[in-house]
Amino acid sequence: MARTDATIGGLGVDSARGETLMPGEQKLLAQYLRYRTAPPTVASIVRRSLRGWAIIVGIFAVAIVVEYAVRLPLVAALLAGVLVGRIVRDLTSYRQFVRQWPLTSRVLDWDKIDRLAARAGMSPDRSSTSN
């Protein structure tokens, strides 16, 4: 089993990989760099989530229409409730993340983040690219 040298807010840097960052880790690193210069807002996180939300809403909309078509309105209503619940949960999570960011940014090892970004070919000025 590979040994993990450091964890930066969920960003595991594995010494067996020579600190090569996986795509998800690079995305998280870019997010940290973006948020260091422009702290997150609920609106900015929602904007980044719109594509995923559109897919989920589309899937649920099809399911709800099908349930109504086969005369199962209670199931359709249940699905609509699940969808609304998911969106409310996401918004609540975003709000909590934004409220906790000032503390999170103070405890992150920014020197380590900068070194990892440099090794991944990223720079703080490149961090504003969308993911």
Question: What pLDDT digit, counting tens, does each position of 22-52 carry?
Answer: 999 999 999 999 999 999 999 999 999 999 9
In a domain, 81, yes or no: yes
In a domain, 23, yes or no: yes
* Whether the Cβ atoms of residue 98 and residue 40 lie closer than 8 Å to each other: yes
Q: d(Cα 105, Cα 86) in Å, to the nearest integer? A: 27
In a domain, 131, yes or no: no
CB atoms within 10 A of CB 33: 23
In a domain, 38, yes or no: yes
Closest CA to 49 of 36, 40, 39, 38: 40
Mean pLDDT by 10 residues, the chain (131 residues): 48 55 91 94 96 97 96 96 97 98 96 90 59 42
Based on the structure, what is the number of domains in the chain? Answer: 1
The pLDDT, as a whole number, for residue 130 is: 44
Structural domain for 87, as ranges: 4-126
CB atoms within 10 A of CB 56: 15
Phi first, then psi, for residue 4 (nearest 5°) are -95, 125
